[in-house]
Amino acid sequence: MRVAVLGFGTVGVGVYEMLQQAQELEAGPVLVRPGKADAPFKVTDLEQILADPRVDAVAEVMGGVEPAYQYASAALRAGKHFVTSNKALVAARGIELNALARENGAAFLFSAACGGGVPFLHNLSLARESDEILSLGGILNGTTNYMLDAMQRLSLDYGEALQDAQRLGYAEADPSADVSGMDALRKIMLACAVAYDKLPSDGLLNEGIESITAADVAHFRSKGYTCRLLARGGRAGESVSAWVEPVLLRDGAPECAVLENYNMASYEGKCSGPIVLMGQGAGRYPTASAVLRDLSCILHGKLYMFQVDCRRVAADNNCKEQIYYVRLPAALAGDLPVESAELDGDTVRVVTRPISVSQMHVTAQRLRAAGASLFFAAIGG
Ligand SMILES: NC(=O)c1ccc[n+]([C@@H]2O[C@H](COP(=O)([O-])OP(=O)(O)OC[C@H]3O[C@@H](n4cnc5c(N)ncnc54)[C@H](OP(=O)(O)O)[C@@H]3O)[C@@H](O)[C@H]2O)c1
Protein backbone atom coordinates (compact mmCIF):
# COMPACT_ATOMS: atom_id res chain seq x y z
CA MET A 1 0.00 0.00 0.00
CA ARG A 2 1.48 3.32 -1.09
CA VAL A 3 1.06 6.14 1.43
CA ALA A 4 1.30 9.89 0.84
CA VAL A 5 2.21 12.01 3.84
CA LEU A 6 0.77 15.49 4.50
CA GLY A 7 3.27 17.50 6.57
CA PHE A 8 6.97 16.92 7.09
CA GLY A 9 7.58 18.09 10.65
CA THR A 10 8.34 16.12 13.82
CA VAL A 11 5.88 13.30 13.15
CA GLY A 12 5.92 13.54 9.33
CA VAL A 13 9.65 12.83 9.08
CA GLY A 14 9.19 9.82 11.37
CA VAL A 15 6.27 8.48 9.31
CA TYR A 16 8.21 8.89 6.05
CA GLU A 17 11.28 7.12 7.46
CA MET A 18 9.24 4.27 8.92
CA LEU A 19 7.33 3.83 5.65
CA GLN A 20 10.63 3.36 3.84
CA GLN A 21 11.42 0.39 6.08
CA ALA A 22 7.95 -1.13 6.52
CA GLN A 23 6.81 -4.36 4.94
CA GLU A 24 3.78 -4.10 2.63
CA LEU A 25 3.82 -0.30 2.93
CA GLU A 26 5.56 2.13 0.63
CA ALA A 27 6.40 5.82 1.02
CA GLY A 28 4.60 8.02 -1.50
CA PRO A 29 4.84 11.77 -2.08
CA VAL A 30 5.01 14.19 0.85
CA LEU A 31 3.02 17.43 0.83
CA VAL A 32 4.99 20.46 2.02
CA ARG A 33 4.29 24.17 1.84
CA PRO A 34 5.02 26.12 -1.37
CA GLY A 35 8.74 26.88 -1.62
CA LYS A 36 9.74 23.95 0.61
CA ALA A 37 9.86 21.16 -2.00
CA ASP A 38 13.64 20.68 -1.85
CA ALA A 39 13.63 16.96 -2.78
CA PRO A 40 11.92 14.97 -5.57
CA PHE A 41 9.56 13.15 -3.18
CA LYS A 42 8.15 16.46 -1.90
CA VAL A 43 5.19 18.12 -3.64
CA THR A 44 3.34 21.36 -2.92
CA ASP A 45 -0.02 20.65 -4.60
CA LEU A 46 -2.49 18.25 -2.98
CA GLU A 47 -3.99 17.52 -6.42
CA GLN A 48 -0.78 15.74 -7.40
CA ILE A 49 -1.45 13.28 -4.58
CA LEU A 50 -5.19 12.93 -5.10
CA ALA A 51 -4.85 12.37 -8.86
CA ASP A 52 -2.11 9.76 -8.45
CA PRO A 53 -3.71 6.29 -8.79
CA ARG A 54 -0.64 4.69 -7.16
CA VAL A 55 -1.42 6.47 -3.86
CA ASP A 56 -3.76 4.25 -1.79
CA ALA A 57 -3.69 6.10 1.52
CA VAL A 58 -2.96 9.52 2.97
CA ALA A 59 -1.38 10.10 6.40
CA GLU A 60 -2.10 13.62 7.68
CA VAL A 61 0.46 14.86 10.21
CA MET A 62 0.23 18.65 9.69
CA GLY A 63 -1.94 19.59 12.67
CA GLY A 64 -4.80 22.12 13.01
CA VAL A 65 -8.41 21.83 11.89
CA GLU A 66 -8.02 23.75 8.63
CA PRO A 67 -6.87 23.09 5.98
CA ALA A 68 -6.48 19.55 7.37
CA TYR A 69 -10.27 19.01 7.22
CA GLN A 70 -10.50 20.15 3.60
CA TYR A 71 -7.56 17.93 2.66
CA ALA A 72 -8.99 14.94 4.55
CA SER A 73 -12.39 15.36 2.86
CA ALA A 74 -10.78 15.63 -0.56
CA ALA A 75 -8.63 12.54 0.05
CA LEU A 76 -11.63 10.48 1.19
CA ARG A 77 -13.74 11.65 -1.77
CA ALA A 78 -10.89 10.52 -4.01
CA GLY A 79 -11.22 7.07 -2.38
CA LYS A 80 -7.94 7.23 -0.45
CA HIS A 81 -7.73 5.73 3.03
CA PHE A 82 -7.14 8.46 5.60
CA VAL A 83 -5.04 8.19 8.77
CA THR A 84 -4.20 11.09 11.08
CA SER A 85 -2.34 11.97 14.29
CA ASN A 86 -4.34 15.20 14.59
CA LYS A 87 -6.56 15.21 17.72
CA ALA A 88 -7.86 18.73 17.07
CA LEU A 89 -9.13 17.62 13.66
CA VAL A 90 -10.80 14.43 14.93
CA ALA A 91 -12.35 16.15 17.97
CA ALA A 92 -13.80 18.90 15.75
CA ARG A 93 -14.66 16.96 12.57
CA GLY A 94 -14.32 13.26 13.30
CA ILE A 95 -18.05 12.54 12.91
CA GLU A 96 -18.14 14.07 9.41
CA LEU A 97 -14.93 12.33 8.35
CA ASN A 98 -16.21 8.97 9.60
CA ALA A 99 -19.38 9.35 7.50
CA LEU A 100 -17.43 10.46 4.44
CA ALA A 101 -14.97 7.59 4.76
CA ARG A 102 -17.80 5.04 4.95
CA GLU A 103 -19.56 6.59 1.94
CA ASN A 104 -16.39 6.18 -0.08
CA GLY A 105 -15.33 2.76 1.21
CA ALA A 106 -12.14 4.26 2.63
CA ALA A 107 -10.60 3.94 6.09
CA PHE A 108 -10.56 6.61 8.81
CA LEU A 109 -8.18 5.79 11.68
CA PHE A 110 -6.48 8.08 14.21
CA SER A 111 -4.88 6.09 17.00
CA ALA A 112 -1.84 8.43 17.17
CA ALA A 113 -4.21 11.24 18.18
CA CYS A 114 -4.79 9.73 21.64
CA GLY A 115 -1.85 8.31 23.56
CA GLY A 116 0.84 8.77 20.87
CA GLY A 117 2.69 5.46 20.75
CA VAL A 118 0.39 3.85 23.36
CA PRO A 119 -2.12 1.62 21.53
CA PHE A 120 -5.08 2.85 23.54
CA LEU A 121 -7.81 3.43 20.95
CA HIS A 122 -7.25 0.15 19.10
CA ASN A 123 -7.53 -1.75 22.38
CA LEU A 124 -10.67 0.14 23.35
CA SER A 125 -12.19 -0.38 19.93
CA LEU A 126 -11.62 -4.14 20.18
CA ALA A 127 -12.65 -4.45 23.84
CA ARG A 128 -15.98 -2.67 23.37
CA GLU A 129 -17.08 -5.32 20.88
CA SER A 130 -17.28 -8.01 23.57
CA ASP A 131 -17.13 -6.24 26.94
CA GLU A 132 -18.76 -3.26 28.59
CA ILE A 133 -16.33 -0.40 29.17
CA LEU A 134 -17.17 0.91 32.64
CA SER A 135 -14.70 3.78 32.68
CA LEU A 136 -11.62 5.04 30.87
CA GLY A 137 -8.94 7.68 31.14
CA GLY A 138 -5.46 8.12 32.51
CA ILE A 139 -2.40 10.29 32.10
CA LEU A 140 -2.77 11.38 28.49
CA ASN A 141 -0.46 14.40 28.39
CA GLY A 142 3.27 13.85 28.69
CA THR A 143 4.21 17.53 29.02
CA THR A 144 2.20 18.08 32.20
CA ASN A 145 3.29 14.73 33.60
CA TYR A 146 6.90 15.75 33.07
CA MET A 147 6.26 19.06 34.86
CA LEU A 148 4.40 17.57 37.83
CA ASP A 149 7.05 14.87 38.21
CA ALA A 150 9.86 17.47 38.06
CA MET A 151 8.09 19.67 40.63
CA GLN A 152 7.87 16.69 42.98
CA ARG A 153 11.15 14.83 42.45
CA LEU A 154 13.45 17.76 41.55
CA SER A 155 11.65 20.31 43.77
CA LEU A 156 11.30 22.75 40.86
CA ASP A 157 8.72 25.52 40.91
CA TYR A 158 6.13 25.76 38.12
CA GLY A 159 8.16 28.17 35.94
CA GLU A 160 11.34 26.11 36.25
CA ALA A 161 9.48 22.88 35.41
CA LEU A 162 7.95 24.50 32.32
CA GLN A 163 11.33 25.87 31.17
CA ASP A 164 12.86 22.42 31.64
CA ALA A 165 10.06 20.81 29.61
CA GLN A 166 10.58 23.38 26.82
CA ARG A 167 14.37 22.89 26.83
CA LEU A 168 13.90 19.13 26.45
CA GLY A 169 11.38 19.57 23.61
CA TYR A 170 8.46 18.18 25.66
CA ALA A 171 6.58 21.50 25.73
CA GLU A 172 5.97 23.86 22.83
CA ALA A 173 6.86 27.56 22.88
CA ASP A 174 3.14 28.14 23.52
CA PRO A 175 2.35 25.44 26.09
CA SER A 176 -1.25 26.54 26.74
CA ALA A 177 -2.99 23.51 25.16
CA ASP A 178 -0.98 21.19 27.41
CA VAL A 179 -0.98 23.06 30.73
CA SER A 180 -4.67 24.05 30.45
CA GLY A 181 -5.70 20.40 30.09
CA MET A 182 -7.17 21.01 26.62
CA ASP A 183 -4.85 18.51 24.91
CA ALA A 184 -5.85 15.76 27.36
CA LEU A 185 -9.51 16.75 27.02
CA ARG A 186 -9.45 16.28 23.23
CA LYS A 187 -7.96 12.84 23.75
CA ILE A 188 -10.63 11.75 26.24
CA MET A 189 -13.28 13.01 23.79
CA LEU A 190 -11.91 10.59 21.17
CA ALA A 191 -11.68 7.71 23.64
CA CYS A 192 -15.33 8.22 24.71
CA ALA A 193 -16.42 8.26 21.07
CA VAL A 194 -14.58 5.00 20.38
CA ALA A 195 -15.86 3.26 23.54
CA TYR A 196 -19.42 4.61 23.73
CA ASP A 197 -20.32 5.95 20.22
CA LYS A 198 -20.77 9.37 21.81
CA LEU A 199 -18.37 12.22 21.10
CA PRO A 200 -18.76 14.65 24.01
CA SER A 201 -18.56 18.09 22.41
CA ASP A 202 -20.23 20.33 24.93
CA GLY A 203 -20.34 20.56 28.73
CA LEU A 204 -16.76 19.31 29.04
CA LEU A 205 -14.73 20.36 32.06
CA ASN A 206 -11.00 20.83 32.18
CA GLU A 207 -8.81 22.10 34.95
CA GLY A 208 -5.12 22.24 34.06
CA ILE A 209 -2.04 22.69 36.18
CA GLU A 210 -1.36 26.42 35.66
CA SER A 211 -2.28 27.28 39.26
CA ILE A 212 -0.19 24.66 41.09
CA THR A 213 2.68 25.98 43.22
CA ALA A 214 5.79 24.43 44.79
CA ALA A 215 4.09 24.95 48.20
CA ASP A 216 1.08 22.85 47.03
CA VAL A 217 3.40 20.03 45.96
CA ALA A 218 5.36 20.17 49.26
CA HIS A 219 2.03 20.01 51.13
CA PHE A 220 0.94 16.92 49.12
CA ARG A 221 4.25 15.21 49.82
CA SER A 222 3.88 15.83 53.56
CA LYS A 223 0.59 13.91 53.37
CA GLY A 224 1.88 11.05 51.15
CA TYR A 225 0.21 12.19 47.92
CA THR A 226 1.48 12.54 44.35
CA CYS A 227 -0.28 14.89 41.94
CA ARG A 228 -1.06 13.81 38.37
CA LEU A 229 -3.22 15.38 35.63
CA LEU A 230 -5.86 12.78 34.77
CA ALA A 231 -8.45 12.62 32.01
CA ARG A 232 -11.57 10.64 32.82
CA GLY A 233 -14.66 9.41 31.07
CA GLY A 234 -17.48 6.94 31.41
CA ARG A 235 -21.15 6.34 30.73
CA ALA A 236 -23.55 8.83 32.32
CA GLY A 237 -27.14 7.81 31.56
CA GLU A 238 -27.82 8.52 27.88
CA SER A 239 -24.68 10.63 27.69
CA VAL A 240 -21.06 10.30 28.83
CA SER A 241 -18.95 12.05 31.43
CA ALA A 242 -15.65 13.56 30.26
CA TRP A 243 -13.35 15.79 32.24
CA VAL A 244 -9.71 16.59 33.02
CA GLU A 245 -8.34 17.69 36.40
CA PRO A 246 -5.37 17.27 38.74
CA VAL A 247 -5.77 14.29 41.07
CA LEU A 248 -3.92 13.50 44.30
CA LEU A 249 -2.96 9.84 44.44
CA ARG A 250 -1.74 7.88 47.44
CA ASP A 251 1.85 6.68 47.08
CA GLY A 252 1.71 3.22 45.54
CA ALA A 253 -1.12 4.02 43.09
CA PRO A 254 -0.07 2.95 39.55
CA GLU A 255 -0.18 6.54 38.27
CA CYS A 256 2.58 7.52 40.76
CA ALA A 257 4.97 5.23 38.88
CA VAL A 258 4.45 7.17 35.64
CA LEU A 259 7.50 9.41 35.55
CA GLU A 260 8.81 12.11 33.23
CA ASN A 261 6.83 12.48 29.99
CA TYR A 262 5.30 9.00 29.92
CA ASN A 263 1.58 8.32 29.44
CA MET A 264 -0.63 5.79 31.15
CA ALA A 265 -3.96 5.06 29.49
CA SER A 266 -6.43 2.78 31.18
CA TYR A 267 -9.93 1.41 30.99
CA GLU A 268 -12.02 -0.89 33.09
CA GLY A 269 -14.04 -3.57 31.34
CA LYS A 270 -16.94 -5.23 33.15
CA CYS A 271 -15.40 -8.64 32.43
CA SER A 272 -11.73 -7.81 31.86
CA GLY A 273 -11.35 -5.62 34.96
CA PRO A 274 -8.78 -2.79 34.88
CA ILE A 275 -6.40 -2.69 31.91
CA VAL A 276 -3.42 -0.34 31.97
CA LEU A 277 -1.24 0.62 28.99
CA MET A 278 1.91 2.64 29.52
CA GLY A 279 4.43 4.14 27.09
CA GLN A 280 5.57 7.19 25.16
CA GLY A 281 2.61 9.43 24.47
CA ALA A 282 4.49 11.72 22.08
CA GLY A 283 7.71 12.14 20.14
CA ARG A 284 8.69 11.50 16.52
CA TYR A 285 9.01 7.74 16.40
CA PRO A 286 6.47 6.71 19.06
CA THR A 287 3.82 8.80 17.30
CA ALA A 288 4.91 7.67 13.84
CA SER A 289 4.71 4.07 15.05
CA ALA A 290 1.03 4.60 15.86
CA VAL A 291 0.40 6.02 12.38
CA LEU A 292 2.09 2.97 10.85
CA ARG A 293 0.04 0.69 13.10
CA ASP A 294 -3.15 2.25 11.69
CA LEU A 295 -1.87 1.66 8.16
CA SER A 296 -1.18 -2.00 9.00
CA CYS A 297 -4.72 -2.26 10.38
CA ILE A 298 -6.05 -1.14 7.00
CA LEU A 299 -4.08 -3.93 5.35
CA HIS A 300 -5.82 -6.34 7.75
CA GLY A 301 -9.27 -4.97 6.97
CA LYS A 302 -9.82 -2.80 10.05
CA LEU A 303 -11.02 0.50 8.60
CA TYR A 304 -12.84 2.39 11.38
CA MET A 305 -12.69 3.23 15.07
CA PHE A 306 -15.95 5.23 15.16
CA GLN A 307 -19.13 3.20 14.67
CA VAL A 308 -21.71 4.27 12.04
CA ASP A 309 -23.98 5.80 14.67
CA CYS A 310 -21.31 7.72 16.60
CA ARG A 311 -22.80 11.12 17.42
CA ARG A 312 -22.07 14.31 19.32
CA VAL A 313 -23.50 14.70 22.83
CA ALA A 314 -23.27 17.17 25.69
CA ALA A 315 -21.15 15.65 28.46
CA ASP A 316 -22.84 15.06 31.82
CA ASN A 317 -20.42 15.59 34.71
CA ASN A 318 -23.05 15.88 37.43
CA CYS A 319 -23.23 12.24 38.49
CA LYS A 320 -19.71 11.56 39.74
CA GLU A 321 -19.00 12.87 43.28
CA GLN A 322 -15.49 13.29 44.70
CA ILE A 323 -13.62 14.80 47.62
CA TYR A 324 -11.43 17.74 46.63
CA TYR A 325 -8.37 19.53 47.96
CA VAL A 326 -8.74 23.27 47.38
CA ARG A 327 -6.16 25.95 48.20
CA LEU A 328 -7.82 29.38 48.17
CA PRO A 329 -8.02 32.70 50.06
CA ALA A 330 -9.27 31.97 53.57
CA ALA A 331 -12.13 34.47 53.21
CA LEU A 332 -13.68 32.34 50.42
CA ALA A 333 -13.70 28.94 52.15
CA GLY A 334 -17.41 29.41 52.92
CA ASP A 335 -18.16 28.90 49.20
CA LEU A 336 -17.25 25.21 49.59
CA PRO A 337 -18.70 22.33 51.64
CA VAL A 338 -15.74 22.10 54.04
CA GLU A 339 -14.87 18.79 55.72
CA SER A 340 -11.59 20.04 57.18
CA ALA A 341 -9.36 23.10 56.75
CA GLU A 342 -5.75 24.10 57.48
CA LEU A 343 -5.13 27.82 57.78
CA ASP A 344 -1.82 29.18 56.44
CA GLY A 345 -1.82 32.97 56.82
CA ASP A 346 -4.44 34.42 54.42
CA THR A 347 -4.66 31.10 52.63
CA VAL A 348 -6.61 28.00 53.57
CA ARG A 349 -6.15 24.40 52.42
CA VAL A 350 -9.59 22.84 52.39
CA VAL A 351 -10.66 19.22 52.07
CA THR A 352 -14.27 19.20 50.87
CA ARG A 353 -17.11 16.82 51.54
CA PRO A 354 -18.05 14.79 48.41
CA ILE A 355 -19.29 17.11 45.65
CA SER A 356 -19.97 16.57 41.96
CA VAL A 357 -17.23 17.19 39.42
CA SER A 358 -19.33 19.91 37.80
CA GLN A 359 -20.03 21.64 41.13
CA MET A 360 -16.29 21.83 41.88
CA HIS A 361 -15.29 23.08 38.43
CA VAL A 362 -18.12 25.61 38.23
CA THR A 363 -17.38 26.94 41.74
CA ALA A 364 -13.70 27.37 40.83
CA GLN A 365 -14.62 29.19 37.60
CA ARG A 366 -16.93 31.53 39.53
CA LEU A 367 -14.32 32.32 42.20
CA ARG A 368 -11.63 32.94 39.59
CA ALA A 369 -13.96 35.21 37.64
CA ALA A 370 -14.28 37.24 40.85
CA GLY A 371 -10.47 37.53 41.01
CA ALA A 372 -9.57 34.70 43.41
CA SER A 373 -6.38 32.70 42.99
CA LEU A 374 -6.92 29.01 43.76
CA PHE A 375 -5.82 25.48 42.95
CA PHE A 376 -7.89 22.34 43.29
CA ALA A 377 -7.36 18.62 42.81
CA ALA A 378 -9.57 15.58 43.35
CA ILE A 379 -8.39 13.32 46.17
CA GLY A 380 -8.06 9.62 45.48
CA GLY A 381 -8.41 7.35 42.49
N1 LIG B 1 4.84 15.81 18.07
C2 LIG B 1 4.27 14.83 18.75
O3 LIG B 1 4.90 14.18 19.60
C4 LIG B 1 2.83 14.47 18.49
C5 LIG B 1 2.24 13.42 19.22
C6 LIG B 1 0.92 13.05 18.96
C7 LIG B 1 0.21 13.76 18.01
N8 LIG B 1 0.80 14.79 17.34
C9 LIG B 1 0.01 15.51 16.34
O10 LIG B 1 0.61 15.33 15.06
C11 LIG B 1 0.41 16.51 14.26
C12 LIG B 1 1.76 17.03 13.78
O13 LIG B 1 2.55 17.33 14.92
P14 LIG B 1 4.11 17.69 14.75
O15 LIG B 1 4.64 17.72 16.14
O16 LIG B 1 4.75 16.83 13.75
O17 LIG B 1 4.00 19.19 14.20
P18 LIG B 1 5.14 20.00 13.43
O19 LIG B 1 6.49 19.54 13.85
O20 LIG B 1 4.78 21.43 13.58
O21 LIG B 1 4.94 19.55 11.92
C22 LIG B 1 3.83 19.92 11.14
C23 LIG B 1 4.33 20.02 9.72
O24 LIG B 1 3.21 20.20 8.87
C25 LIG B 1 3.51 21.27 7.99
N26 LIG B 1 2.29 21.91 7.54
C27 LIG B 1 1.37 22.55 8.32
N28 LIG B 1 0.40 23.02 7.53
C29 LIG B 1 0.69 22.66 6.27
C30 LIG B 1 0.06 22.86 5.02
N31 LIG B 1 -1.08 23.54 4.92
N32 LIG B 1 0.65 22.36 3.92
C33 LIG B 1 1.81 21.68 4.01
N34 LIG B 1 2.47 21.46 5.16
C35 LIG B 1 1.91 21.95 6.28
C36 LIG B 1 4.40 22.20 8.78
O37 LIG B 1 5.12 23.02 7.89
P38 LIG B 1 5.71 24.42 8.40
O39 LIG B 1 6.81 24.10 9.34
O40 LIG B 1 6.16 25.01 7.12
O41 LIG B 1 4.58 25.16 9.06
C42 LIG B 1 5.28 21.20 9.51
O43 LIG B 1 6.36 20.79 8.73
C44 LIG B 1 -0.38 17.47 15.15
O45 LIG B 1 -1.75 17.31 14.89
C46 LIG B 1 -0.06 16.99 16.56
O47 LIG B 1 -1.10 17.30 17.50
C48 LIG B 1 2.09 15.15 17.56
DSSP 268-313: EETTTEEEEEEEE-SSHHHHHHHHHHHHHHHHTT--BSS-TT-EEE
CB atoms within 10 A of CB 78: 19
147 ligand 1 Cβ < 6 A: no
- The residue nearest atom 29 of ligand 1, judged by CA position, is 62
Q: What average pLDDT does this structure show over 60-69?
A: 97
- The residue nearest atom 41 of ligand 1, judged by CA position, is 33
pLDDT in tens, 106-145: 999 999 999 999 999 999 999 999 999 999 999 999 999 9
Atom of ligand 1 nearest to the CA of 89: 45
Q: 187 an active-site residue?
A: yes
Q: What average pLDDT does this structure show over 333-338?
A: 95
CB atoms within 10 A of CB 11: 28
pLDDT in tens, 144-194: 999 999 999 999 999 999 999 999 988 888 999 999 999 999 999 999 999
* Distances 44 to 49, 57, 142, 168, 229 between C-alpha atoms, Å: 10, 17, 32, 31, 40
What are the structural domains, with CATH classification, of the chain? 2-109 (3.40.50.720), 134-281 (3.30.360.10), 321-379 (3.30.70)
Annotated catalytic residue within 36, 42, 87, 187: 187
- Measured in angstroms, how far is the CA atom of residue 338 from the centroid of ligand 1? 46
* Distances 123 to 75, 144, 205, 336 between C-alpha atoms, Å: 27, 24, 25, 40
pLDDT at 171: 85
Question: Residue 373: pLDDT band by 50, 70, 90 thresholds?
Answer: very high
- 3-state SS of 138-191 is EECCHHHHHHHHHHHHCCCCHHHHHHHHHHCCCCCCCCHHHHCCHHHHHHHHHH
CA torsion angle for 160, 164, 167, 171 (degrees, to 10)?
-100
- The residue nearest atom 25 of ligand 1, judged by CA position, is 7
117 ligand 1 Cβ < 6 A: no
Atom of ligand 1 nearest to the CA of 31: 33
- Measured in angstroms, how far is the CA atom of residue 110 from the centroid of ligand 1? 15
Provide, rounded to the nearest whole percent, the portion of the chain with pLDDT above 90.
96
pLDDT in tens, 234-280: 999 999 999 999 999 999 999 999 999 999 999 999 999 999 999 99
